[in-house]
Structure 1
Amino acid sequence: MLPYYFSGIPFRAHQVGRKLPWLLGRGDVRQLIKGVYVDTRVPDSPELRAEALSLVVPPEGIIYGDAAAWLHGIDSTALGPEPLIHPRWTFLPRPTVEIEGLLVTTPAATAIELAQHLPRPFALSSLDALLHSQVVTHDELQAAAPAYFATDSTSQAAVLLRLADGRAESPGESWLRLRIFDAGFPRPELQITVDRYRLDLGYPDRPIDGRFLGLEYDSDAWHSSDHQQVRDESRRTDLAKLGWHSIPVRRPDLWGSYPALELTIGAFLCQEPRLPRRW
């Protein structure tokens, strides 16, 4: 059956009036961006995102910020703690490209502006996501950077551009890498192949007590059930036999206030972490 609310076309709240809370409560519609909704059966796509933004962005408005990154294909989890995108636009000059008839800041401009203005963890995860999706390259970021800061700048954006890595496959991996960087530990290698396994990041060239150190971000979505936890434990046992100590990292480990993660990593690397934590 085809979607039935406006034939699957995104719509504004005023178009359904008092029915909106009822439709949301039934799970018949979902909010795409602030103030715009669509039938839950309509799959996400670049066209759908552009249609949603076209309902709130005025003609000739240039979309920027998290809305620009979202239109370039980045999931909202990489952009901030709130999953809802707030459309932002300007009429001031910006480097732009056209997507589905909409003016949007270029991937490079979008990346650098996010690196300047988002909180540090989300600034890095958005940079990593844009690089991972290959909508922008390191060379393009370096070419665009002088318009925003000096070559020797120590600003947040400049530092994070040097740290950004498109090999990161999830926001959690980006946040974990930032914690390692902030603690003053050596820069880890990413996506390490060990036999039939792959570790998110680690130190394949720094054996401690005969074992290497690997770290893996275990998201709630893929590592919470009893079956998933048994599988993870078996994986860690196999990695230990292959000479690797694997540290599982969950979201509370990254966002909690106690520096247990830094202390654990420091113990294996025989290095005192730089404390206190920055975030």
Structure 2
Amino acid sequence: MLLLLLISSAFLLPWAGAGRIIGGQVVKHHSRPYMAYLHIQFGNQSGIHTSRCGGFLIGPDAVLSAAHCVDKEGTVNITVILGAHNISVRERSQQRIPVARWDIHPDYSPVGYINDIVLLKLKTKARINEYVKSIFIPRSYEYVRAGTKCMVAGWGWMSWAGHSSDVMMEVEQEVQEEKPCEHLFHNYRCQSMMCVGDEKSRKAPYNGDSGGPLVCNQKAHGIVSYGLEKNLFPKVFTRISYFEPWIRRQLMRFALQELPGSPSSD
């Protein structure tokens, strides 16, 4: 469930194209109703391309994901699939909704995946039901301690060979101290990033899992961001609590744009 994107200087691999959860297990059907599958189509001089990412619903028309998933050259079109277990078939539970717009964090940098977060506004509101529900995000003062066990789900690669999963997989991950990531990643920032993954477990998100949530204590505390291509441990996640004020401001903007007479309400 990780995304493939190689940074030549540090061999970083952001999970934004297709991915699997290595060492994971199949999720119980529709037990993660907040999960979103992002189908991304972009066109440039070399033609039309597609990629896939994870995401998660935080409101009826709002999905969080990783900025590097949508940071593409040329024309970009995104469709969000909610309520999915097997994304290779049209399940009756699925809702396929185009994305009307998206706001990448203004200080996002693809070098080191700094501020790797994007908020997507759906063209129509999702129908909230047993298959589709939003998940809470933490407040700015909420942190998870090292040693906390969390879950990551997605449709990313299930091995280094590049075989992605059609059904949602999940894996347990442990929040780590900052030192391993500070040692491995030159641009690691403890305020806005989380160091996650147990060296002994041999389990991790991978290509195609980018943008998916790290769920700890029933809240989405992190977003799958990047890691080393051949190392399962550790991985870097975007720390959602750090961006909570920005997220709230963007959600308010979305709401104001829906008011009659607003520039985007027509």
TM range (shorter): under 0.3
Larger Rg: 1
TM-score (norm 2): 0.21
| Higher RCO structure (Cα 8 Å, ≥6 apart) | 2
Q: What is the TM-score when the length of structure 1 is the normalising length? A: 0.20
Higher relative strand content = 2
More helix by share: 1
